[in-house]
Structure 1
Amino acid sequence: MKRVDVAYVLIFDEYNEKVLMVKNKDDKSSYFTLPGGKVEAGETLKEAAIREVKEETGLDVALDGIFTVSEAFFEQKGHHTIFFTFIGRIVGGEIKITFPEEIEEVIWVNGNVAENYMHIPIDLKGMINKKLTTPYIFRGNVVHRST
């Protein structure tokens, strides 16, 4: 299976009640996710998350840390996907769909509804309201020298 990394961003409205979601479309269906997408070669998780939010929503974001890390096997595609979800906040831009062939809609939804689309397990429901994060650390280019 091919490894694929995906970076999402959890963005709350100014009242910390609603979460920004995008309605993606593919050949067969439409589905809601947080804004985000595949990490490109040579790109950090943080860079990918910021870029994907801009591409999908028109918004500029700053990231505050990792909210969750999860994974799934997509057998039909042959992918083992790792999902890195950051918590972010809007720092500029305006909602605009740049790629209508990929994104049908950008909407604000209640947090409990967003959790369903984020695949939060039933025993962790309500986790979104805690807004806990783990630091994201980019360690740069590491070179090990022999001694």
Structure 2
Amino acid sequence: MGRRPVSSRDGVREIWSAGGVVYRRAGDSGLEVMLVARPRERLWALPKGKPEPGESIEQTALREVSEETGLQVAIDGSEPVGSIRYTYEVPGRPGRVYKVVHHYLMQPTGGDLERHDGEYDLVEWYDAHEACKRMTYPNERAIVERAIEALNGEEAAR
């Protein structure tokens, strides 16, 4: 995947964004996952966003997650835990948009949830399985399920 955020071909505009599955190990409950939410819109999701000029996918993921959650985070691993691909149309604009959203496993290294940028009403930790139940988008839920599986396998190997 190239590092350019936008390209066009055959009337299809291609864009990408990036974010993360922020997790922590938490006592008896095991694994917790960070979700961002707008409850009045019934939206629970993973933090993510669009690149700024010149940013790599990884830089975008780190910045967006930090802005939306208030946490400093580190990417855990070198490859995304999953990517979502979809096509949509923008009313009043010709052509379609093909979007790829890359999600990395991330761990918090500092920060404060109270310092999130306000794009979402809530930024909260959930038991990983509860997070999956709350999530609005099935494709993001599948990424969290993949992350849980990978992290539980890693724990079992210890």
Greater fraction helix? 2
- What is the rounded CA distance, in whole Å, between the counterparts of 2:140 and 2:108 in structure 1? 27
Q: In structure 2, do the counterparts of structure 1 residues 118 and 86 end up closer, same or farther at CA, with 3 Å as the change threshold?
A: farther
- Answer whether contact 1:9 1:85 (CA < 8 A) is retained: yes
Identify the residue that residue 4 of structure 1 maps to in structure 2.
Answer: 15
- What is the rounded CA distance, in whole Å, between the counterparts of 1:5 and 1:111 in structure 2? 26
- What is the rounded CA distance, in whole Å, between the counterparts of 1:58 and 1:12 in structure 2? 14
Q: In structure 2, do the counterparts of structure 1 residues 29 and 45 end up closer, same or farther at CA, with 3 Å as the change threshold?
A: same
Residue 119 in structure 1 maps to residue 131 in structure 2: no
- What is the rounded CA distance, in whole Å, between the counterparts of 1:123 and 1:52 in structure 2? 21
- What is the rounded CA distance, in whole Å, between the counterparts of 1:3 and 1:96 in structure 2? 34
- What is the rounded CA distance, in whole Å, between the counterparts of 1:96 and 1:73 in structure 2? 34
Residue 74 in structure 1 maps to residue 88 in structure 2: yes
- What is the rounded CA distance, in whole Å, between the counterparts of 1:114 and 1:120 in structure 2? 13
Identify the residue that residue 25 of structure 2 maps to in structure 1.
Answer: 14
- What is the rounded CA distance, in whole Å, between the counterparts of 2:71 and 2:148 in structure 1? 22
Shift, 1:79, TM fit: 2.4
TM-score when scaled to structure 1?
0.72
Q: In structure 2, do the counterparts of structure 1 residues 41 and 22 end up closer, same or farther at CA, with 3 Å as the change threshold?
A: same
Identify the residue that residue 139 of structure 1 maps to in structure 2.
Answer: none
- C-alpha distance after superposition, 1:57-84 (max 9, x if no partner): 1100110131002201123464211011
- What is the rounded CA distance, in whole Å, between the counterparts of 1:124 and 1:47 in structure 2? 20
Residue identity (%): 24
- Answer whether contact 1:87 1:131 (CA < 8 A) is retained: no
Structure 1 gaps, min length 5: 133-147
Residue 131 in structure 1 maps to residue 150 in structure 2: yes
Q: In structure 2, do the counterparts of structure 1 residues 6 and 97 end up closer, same or farther at CA, with 3 Å as the change threshold?
A: same
Q: 1:103 aligns with which of 99, 107, 120?
A: 120
Shift, 1:105, TM fit: 0.8
Q: In structure 2, do the counterparts of structure 1 residues 126 and 45 end up closer, same or farther at CA, with 3 Å as the change threshold?
A: closer
Identify the residue that residue 51 of structure 1 maps to in structure 2.
Answer: 63
- What is the rounded CA distance, in whole Å, between the counterparts of 1:91 and 1:125 in structure 2? 20
Q: 2:47 aligns with which of 35, 46, 51?
A: 35
Structure 2 gaps, min length 5: 1-11, 152-158
